Amino acid sequence: MANSVVKPRLRAAARAGVVMAALGVTLLASGCSTGSPRPLGGAALAEAASFPYFPVYWAGPRFEQWPLAAADGTRSYLSNIGDSVYYGNCVSGKGLLAGGNCLLPLQVTTVIYGIHSNATLGPQENRLLRGVPATIYDEGRSIELYSGRVAIDIFSDQLSHALAAVQALYPINAPGSASAPLPLPVYCPGLSGPEPADVRAVMLHLPRRACQEDEAEVAYTKRVKGE
């Protein structure tokens, strides 16, 4: 896998380290824990549910057969990485983090969107998911959705779990429903590669015509520079 594709998982792993320290979870060098995680404490869940800065998305208290194992909050919040929830039975061995080969079946990270190009993500596919533009990458294990002021990053162990998580998403700290479309992004996502007709149609009708404004600004800059 190219270094540029590994970076999102390294970033997620680093974030997981911050969270585990904050929640007081002991990391086991041997990799996956063989037992189920303890039920997430009410204080940790309440902190995530009262996160004040933006909607934080999760898949509910259980995703398929996996319980919610950990949740971030304001104390461990890093603005450039976002706020995450974690599902599965191997919280103490997060693959890259613990040196093992166990990956959580699902991590959902919500972060304020920063303008960037998706070109560095490697092979990818753009789709319309839950009514908003989304990019599938990392051989289908990762999906980034663009909604409101945020990006919702899904890190999973396989495509089927990632797609199932998309259909289960709703905010833990704001009104919302897993059965409703996600709010359209107020920015123009930096998609790379082909845009299917339905994705392009949505991109052209974003609030404040965000993509048209971006294209006009780029064209103006090129004219000023004589390019």
pLDDT tens readout for residues 83-96: 999 998 764 433 33
Q: Where are the alpha helices (DSSP H) in 56-99?
A: none
DSSP label at residue 82: B
What are 13's strand-pairing partners? none
Question: Which residues pair with residue 33 across a beta bridge?
Answer: none
Mean pLDDT rounded to a whole number for the chain: 79
Q: What is the largest CA-CA distance in the chain?
A: 63
Higher pLDDT, 221 or 95: 221
Comparison of pLDDT for 222 and 132, the residue scoring more = 132
Domain assignment of residue 36, given as a range: 3-225
Residue 17 has pLDDT above 60, yes or no: no
Phi/psi for 218 (5° steps) reads -65, -45
pTM assigned to the model: 0.77
pLDDT tier at 27, thresholds 50, 70, 90 = very low
Q: How far is CA 114 from the centre of its chain?
A: 13
The C-alpha atoms of residue 86 and residue 57 are separated, in whole angstroms, by 11
Domain count, the chain: 1
Residue 41: other Cβ atoms inside 10 A: 13
Instruction: Identify the band that residue 44 occupies on the pLDDT scale cut at 50, 70 and 90.
Output: confident
The single residue listed with the structure tokens 């998911």 is 129
